[in-house]
Structure 1
Amino acid sequence: MEKYHIHLRTVLAFVGLIGLLPAVSSAQSATYPVDSTYTVKGSYEKMVQYRPDIVTALGVVDEYINTTPDVVYKSIGERKLHLDIYGPRTPGKKPAPIIFMIHGGGWSSGTKSHMDAMARDLAFNGYLAVAVEYRLSPEIQYPAGIEDLQDAVQWIAENGARYGGDGKKIVVLGASAGAHLASFLGTTENDLLPYKQQKSRYIKGIVNIDGIVSFIHPEASQEGKSAGRWLGGGRDTHWHNWTEASPLEYVDKKSPPILFVNGAYPRFHAGRDSLVARYQDYGTYYHIFEFSDAPHTFWFFYPWYNPMMYKILDFLDHIL
């Protein structure tokens, strides 16, 4: 573990890391509906009642990395979608592999800034980390958010070189709902869907941090209102969408290696073991790292942040 550099800043979340999001993005003038219920600060306030020892991780400071915030990768009328790009301060001899990062929030809330700490530490360890904004269910329903993410992958594959990245080496990483979306991008890259008419081979790995891989698996029975808002309706009325949006349905011999980092609640890795069984059948590399004591949203906080990052860096070293 000493080969990795995770020089972390930490502050207690009550200092006010991230407050409620405004109804209008600060990077643009177009207005759109926003669900601001999911924040790092709110997660801290809930969790500290049960774990008073937790501390929020912020990652390395700017002087150690290069940051390029709010790069526009897509416009829909006046609505613009952005990327935050984090890279090593000193470029390597070769272009850096790209870690494409997707925030969580039940497909309805959250912001790309939630990936800031991990992105900083990944950049400090030689990767080009890209945190992406995508449209959420208060604004528009499935499959628009996935289309945004597919467009963002295509954009960074084509434009990553100007930021020092290797567009042919992309790993998708997500947390919670973002982990589901990362898994979907990775498992469907070689599939044609009604809203995706072109295959690609950019994605070399998946990091799933406490996210489901199926909406229709028996273990996913607790997925209800939040999933339904995003998928256009409930499981009974919109079964097609619930099935089509499930990464497990697309696993094949071309699916990329995957790392699961999970907390203590089985609900948040619904379908994982079935996916792993298919990976075993195909001989595809996978790894599971599970915290026995970690609640959901553990990735924001010590004492879980460091061991999580070491596992992620180990996985990236192994597959890249």
Structure 2
Amino acid sequence: MNDLIIFFIPLFAFLLDQLLADPRCLPHPVVLVGKCISMLESLARRHEKRCSLRTAGIMAPILLCVAVGGIVWPLASIPVFGVIIAIYLAFAGLALKGLVQEAGKVEALLAEGDIEEARKALAMLVSRETGTMGEREIRRSLAETVSENYSDGFFAPFFYLVLGGPTGLWIYKTINTFDSMWGYRNSTYERLGWFSAKTDDLANWIPARLSTLSLIFAGKGLGLATENVMDNTIRQAPSMESPNAGWPMAACAWLVGGTMGGPTIYFGKTKDKPILGPEGQEWTAERIETLFRLVDRAGWLTMLLSLCVLFPLSMI
């Protein structure tokens, strides 16, 4: 695969994501990765006496990442047809348009006054309990998941796509899927998932901070107040339990002017999350729509800037 083709893959992948989002008719590689992780978990628990869960929690992610890389690289390297495979795998690893669309469905249901269906639609996007949420809590949860997932659902995969092609992207997606399935800090996954959680934190460290810059530049283009946003983000982001999630969340909160954090119910227990953004500002329908425009504009900006970097390199 020559350098000029490598330059075009992120462009085509991004445009396909914008045009098609997440088509249900096509098989999604992350589903296969998830099934593999479930099989590895069953295997680890079945043989726990011979291999501790902590050891299995280290070996499984490493082995599956090597396997994924060992499959994606040769497939993407097949003459002619490999380009199509590479573009599809790159497109399948991005989730910007689908994120905004699914979040938009929740907001549309709220606008129609159908709060029960809005709760159900939100439950498909978040791990928190939504059954008793009112409009305020639904919109706050929506803002938090859209801003956090802008980074690990789009920016980070795109970042690794630019750096390492489809192989780099899918190794990242494998790490991220391990974290989403095993990275819980509870008695069930504490030993099995600790390595996955730490690896995901490491993989997202640079993208989370760069995604903040893309959001601020996009906000400036939309005419949002960007003064002190970076200073406030640097101050508030470390208060989050995750070393990365607070960066895009705090940036979005300050740019749009809505408050994130506060009491949130996870698995029957209330967790008091740190406050991000200006205090006491509700997420109205107008602020949610502004957030959608912000992450969409930031995605386009990220794609264009990456092309500015890749094109000169492809000419060398």
Question: Please, what TM-score do these two structures have when normalized by structure 2?
Answer: 0.31
Greater strand proportion: 1
For CA contacts below 8 A with separation 6 or more, give which structure has more relative contact order.
2
Greater helix proportion: 2
Question: Please, what TM-score do these two structures have when normalized by structure 1?
Answer: 0.30
